[in-house]
Amino acid sequence: MYQKLIDLLSKKPELYEPSTAKFWDDEHISNEMLKAHLDPSWDAASRNHAFITRSVDWITQIAPPLQYTKLLDLGCGPGLYAERFCKNGYGVTGIDYSHRSIAYARSSALQNGSDITYIYQDYLELSFQEEFDVITLIYCDFCVMSENNRKELLKRIFKALKPGGKFILDVTAPKAYEGKSESRDWFQQESGFWSAKPHVCISSHSIYPEDNTRLNQTVIITKDNMECYNIWDHIFTEEELRRDLNTAGFYNIALYGDIAGADYNPESKVICAAATKEVMQWN
């Protein structure tokens, strides 16, 4: 394990190199993530709950459920947005790749009497055809994927939308990392977010200027094991976001300063886009 650690720390990971384990389905980490989701005041696994409510209310305004009936929430987690969308009148489907999150979301929907369909699935495997009026991808989830995976997802989202449907997402903007340089730090603790066992945590931040991407890496070392978790974050300019959406077939694109409808501002740490799949006009 010592040599594995030395090899890991002695070189920069390849761009979009995957983690050594799926942290979203790790028994301990997924439980800690669920706690973070459910903390109403914490901007961690989800944004704070007051912002989530404002975000859902704003989306309801720009895509009213009487006109945009069916909504697909990608990366729905434990259903914090989906429950609110349902209460606002949408027919909601949520997709997530965490067993624990989906199990919680289903239990919550049953308890609250919410008619929501939850699917455990990698959303890169979407196969819907003109099924939804609105598709959301929230909390900069789009930024963690490689360029090829982003292109593939946009293609599948475009196919899943009905003509006239809206795709609403937010992405990391350049201001989010302004002044943040490469770094490495470590600490030891008996138990924490990443492991219930005594462990050493080595965290690092790396910059990939050739792709305008950042890596937040966490290496967890216990007595018996070592895992490396790579959290990638691609930084979008307004021009790149518009280009990628255009390439996928979206041309009617409105930009905002956040996913609760703030005015677009180049100083914002995120960019929100609401893109419409335009109805084809035949002569």
Number of domains in the chain: 2
Same domain, 87 and 218: no
Structure tokens at 163: 């003509």
**Rounded distance, CA 139 to CA 40, Å?**
15
**Rounded distance, CA 119 to CA 42, Å?**
26
Same domain, 83 and 210: no
Same domain, 149 and 259: yes
pLDDT greater than 80 at residue 56: yes
Structure tokens at 21: 């384990």
Cα dihedral: 50, 54, 59, 65 (round 10): 90
pLDDT at 24: 87
Residues 6 or more apart in contact with residue 24 via CB below 8 angstroms: 30, 33, 97, 98, 101
Q: Tens of pLDDT along 199-216?
A: 999 999 999 999 999 999
Residues 210 and 225 sit within 8 Å (Cβ to Cβ): no
Residues 6 or more apart in contact with residue 179 via CB below 8 angstroms: none
The single-letter DSSP state of residue 176 is: G
Q: Tens of pLDDT along 31-42?
A: 999 998 999 887
Output the average pLDDT for the chain: 94
Reported as a pLDDT band with limits 50, 70 and 90, residue 2 is low
- Three-state secondary structure call for residue 279: coil
Same domain, 88 and 228: no
Handedness of CA 154, 156, 142, 21 (dihedral sign): negative
Where in the sequence is the domain holding 202, given as residue range(s)?
2-13+176-234
pLDDT at 100: 95
Is residue 227 situated within a structural domain?
yes
Which residue type does 100 have? R
pLDDT greater than 90 at residue 10: no
**0.75 cut: is pTM over it?**
yes
pLDDT at 147: 96
Same domain, 190 and 63: no
pLDDT at 280: 60
Q: Tens of pLDDT along 137-167?
A: 999 999 999 999 999 999 999 999 999 999 9
**Rounded distance, CA 70 to CA 129, Å?**
13
pLDDT greater than 60 at residue 282: no
Same domain, 153 and 181: no
Is residue 72 situated within a structural domain?
yes
Reported as a pLDDT band with limits 50, 70 and 90, residue 283 is very low
Return the CATH number at 244: 3.40.50.150
Reported as a pLDDT band with limits 50, 70 and 90, residue 249 is very high
